[in-house]
A and B are shown apart, each in its own frame.
Chain A
Amino acid sequence: MMRGKELVLAAINRECADPFPWVPFCGVHCASLLGKSAAAYLHSSDLMLAGMRQAISDYDPDGLPVIFDLQLEAEVLGCQLHWAVDNPPSVCSHPLQNHLSGLSDLVLPQSSAGRFPVLLPVIRELRRLYPDLALYGLCTGPLTLALHLLGSDIFLQMYDDPAYVEELLRFTGSCACRVSSWYLECGCDLIAVVDPMTSQIAPEQFQRFCSPILRSTFDYIRQQGAKSSFFVCGHAQKNLPLMCASGCDHISVDENIPLAYLRELCQARQLSFGGNLPLTTGLLLGDEQTNMINTIKCLQLVAGDPGFILAPGCDLPYATPPKNLQVVAQVLRDPEKRRIAQQMAQNPPLETIPKIDLSAYIEADKVKVAVLTLDSRGCAPCQYMLAAAEAAAAVFPGQVEVQEYTIKTQEGIQMMASLGVSNIPSICIDRDVRFVSEIPDQPTFVEVLRQKLSQKRQAGQSGVRL
């Protein structure tokens, strides 16, 4: 089975088969994996390398961006940055604002400037350590970099002095090409041009100002023998047809864009596409169940398409819980997990399900073991989970009661909601979620039950009800 770089490039060439490649856009999220601030992370080659290695270990991706910082070029070109603990930096001064003539003084960035000397060795080392992983080099898109340089006046200039904006974009497009060449020299496989600001302008302006520069940028990347991706987050729907005509090999969008619509457009042009796992409501704020359902919905929408790459579509928030990303990879690659996700997606949302009154569920002298499954008769992990529970219970005859609850039944769904279980298969002991997607070994399980029974005995002697 294809994996890693081979799989990503197959998808870019529209020659991929399910399971699709998985590319979590880990930017400063890698810093959180190390317990470091975004500012410290983005200034240190060692931290970047360690963070990326941690993400590779935790999320088993087919590809990764080496850094997600759209201020790298701007900093070199004279923008001041505001640094944050849990975010990439933001631009807080614009060198061309109130100084339009300064454009003629700007020179293209050098690889020895700014934080590029920190980043480029990281790419080389990642290439050496992970020859089979697809490495994405991310450069700031021409319009976004132009906005950094000129500030929001750029929109008025589009009206008042369009020739100036065209000249500015020629410069920022050249920056993108230059930075791309460094990334490719260091070993990146793909260049992603990240231009979120293009989602904010009207199609007429996109066509006039952005299309020519994007086309020349993507042509340049192609001439270097590399593949290109166009990352745009936000409400880019109106500009999607123009994005598809920009000459890139792949388009990545966030959840603001309906995946079915993107698929239709990309199929017509034989383009690869990716996205669009919900970032805030799903990956950051949701639980494992939410993300299993979101993943399966993406996969169902693109089923059979040879050009899809599963990704969040935008930079992952710093504090994204790792388990939410891990479950995405599980649903993608583990057929059993996928079946569970399919079943969950068919069930009504857990928060809408009437809860069972569990006040009388716990018994004073007996431990209740609830095994929440898809169905132990047809799901291997569920079967082993149930078998583990029954084997451990057999050590305590008459004292432990094992009950399977399958989420194919109304009772099972209600029990899952009432016990607060968000992942299947899981084992609850009395009302506590104790084992999640992990089949406990016999000694561990027996010990857990022994302790629980002991607690009950002590509570019974002291008259306390557990």
Chain B
Amino acid sequence: MKPINLLLLAGFLGAGKTSLLEALLPELTAAGRVAVLLNEFGSIALDAVRLQKFHLPVREICGGSIFCSCKQADLVGQLESIAQQLQPDLLVLEASGMAMPADTSLLLQQSYLRDIYALPQVLTVVDALNYPKLADILPVLDQQVAAADTLVLSKIDLAAPEKSLERLRKLNPQAPILYRDREKLYGQLQFGPVSSRAGARQLSVRAPEHLTVCNWQGEQLSDSGLEQLLQEFRGELLRGKGVVNQRRLELVNGLWDWSPEVAEQTNALFFVLRGSVNRQFQQKLKELEM
């Protein structure tokens, strides 16, 4: 059976996810059967009422964010039920404001749902008014930006986009940025299979002279020391991956996560760094060897 396409709509509360969805739905529904799954954080799903006019199946996960492990059960249950009962061509998952798109992808990959749903295409809405204030307070906002296939900078009639743009470009140089005010969306969204853009999303491309590569292979590294090192260099770390102490590292634009234990016995790490800190980083990495 053909996997169901998944559009993950991310962005902080009030960024304008639902109004963007309202703007997109006429086009999306013209292309096939669409279902919507809403995950409101901390309130009942009022957005469902706004979407009634489209006469679409709209499901809800209320009362928590998918960031919490105990709430993932609800997401899994709804994804399973939608696949069985509705069998849409496309599911739009409007995530809660605190949701990390990477968690949703990981959950899909680690469960039986991987055979039912395609990897999500991530559309992140960034609020030009509040993002400059909130980004340093809520790390999840940068995670949402970094994971995006496409960025929509909203409320540009209320705040100058320049305040957000530099940070967005630094976090995700690949994703096209569209603009939105209260009236309309400027630019055309491109939808397509995620696999065609996954490579681009994984590695940001910058001018070669600004990038250096650091490889490490050895026995073991101090877990806490490595964590501190990544924190220290997070601004310069563009990409990192590999296995150490039976854990797999995935780092994109200064944001990283560890997968549970892996079978690989070889400890090896690979990093791409910005600027001229490579030697310093390599030296500190070497000092962490146990």
Chain A interface (Cβ < 8 Å from any Cβ of B) = 82, 84, 87-94, 147-148, 151-152, 155-156, 158-160, 196, 199-202, 204-205, 233-235, 237-238, 254-256, 258, 260-261, 264-265, 268, 278-281, 284-285, 297, 313-319
Contact = CB atoms under 8 A, between A and B. Distances in A.
Interface of B: 12-14, 41-44, 62-64, 67-70, 72-74, 76, 97-98, 100, 107, 110-112, 130, 133-134, 136-140, 222-224, 227, 231, 245, 247, 257-258, 260-261
A313 B134 contact: no
Contacts of B43: 82, 90-93, 151
A94 B13 CA distance: 15
Contacts of B13: 152
A399 B138 CA distance: 69
A90 B134 contact: no
Given A92-B43, A260-B223, A159 B69 contact: no
B112 to A, nearest CB: 7
A89 B69 contact: no
A260 B225 CA distance: 12
A286 B231 CA distance: 34
Given A84-B62, A87-B63, A90-B42, A233 B70 contact: yes
B224 A264 contact: yes
Contact of A82 (B12, B41, B63, B231): B63
Nearest to B234: A238
B136 to A, nearest CB: 6
Contacts of A201: 137-139
B136 A261 contact: no
A152 B136 contact: no
A375 B231 CA distance: 47
Contacts of B139: 200-202, 238
B68 A196 contact: yes
Report which residue of A158, A202, A285 has the largest number of chain B beta carbons within 10 angstroms of its beta carbon. Answer: A285
Nearest to A91: B42
Nearest to A253: B69
B70 A314 contact: yes
A41 B11 CA distance: 35
A258 B67 contact: no
B224 A254 contact: no
Contacts of A258: 223, 247, 258, 260
Given A82-B63, A84-B63, A92-B44, A285 B76 contact: yes
B73 A280 contact: yes
Contacts of B245: 260
Contacts of B12: 152
5 contacts: A90-B62, A152-B12, A156-B133, A285-B111, A314-B68
Given A93-B43, A265-B224, A280-B107, A155 B63 contact: no
A280 B42 contact: no
A203 to B, nearest CB: 9
A297 B259 CA distance: 14
B100 A284 contact: no
A205 to B, nearest CB: 5
A204 B97 CA distance: 20
A77 B257 CA distance: 37
A187 to B, nearest CB: 26
A314 B69 CA distance: 7
Contacts of B98: 200
Contact of A317 (B67, B70, B133): B70
Contact of A151 (B42, B137, B140, B227): B42
B109 to A, nearest CB: 10
B66 to A, nearest CB: 10
Contacts of B68: 196, 233-234, 314
Contacts of A237: 227
A256 B68 CA distance: 9
B44 A82 contact: yes
B64 A204 contact: no
A279 B260 contact: no
Contacts of B257: 235
B137 A281 contact: no
Nearest to A239: B139
A451 to B, nearest CB: 34
A427 B74 CA distance: 34
B169 to A, nearest CB: 21
A374 B63 CA distance: 44
A235 B231 CA distance: 15
Given A199-B67, A235-B257, 11 more contacts: A91-B42, A92-B42, A92-B43, A160-B133, A202-B136, A234-B67, A235-B67, A235-B100, A255-B69, A255-B260, A314-B70
Contacts of B261: 297
A90 B69 contact: no
A206 B274 CA distance: 28
B117 to A, nearest CB: 15
A261 B227 contact: yes
Nearest to A268: B224
Nearest to B257: A235
Contact of A313 (B42, B69, B231, B247): B69
A279 B69 contact: yes
Contacts of A233: 68-70
B41 A152 contact: yes
Contacts of B62: 82, 84, 90, 92
Contacts of B44: 82, 90, 92
A255 B247 CA distance: 13
Contacts of A316: 70
Contact of B231 (A152, A205, A238): A238
Contact of A159 (B42, B112, B137, B227): B137
A204 to B, nearest CB: 7
Contacts of A89: 63
Contacts of B223: 258, 260-261, 264
B34 to A, nearest CB: 26
A281 B104 CA distance: 12
Nearest to B258: A258
A318 B64 CA distance: 15
Given A82-B44, A201-B137, A233-B68, A156 B130 contact: yes
A88 B70 CA distance: 11
B67 A152 contact: no
Contacts of A205: 137
A300 to B, nearest CB: 9
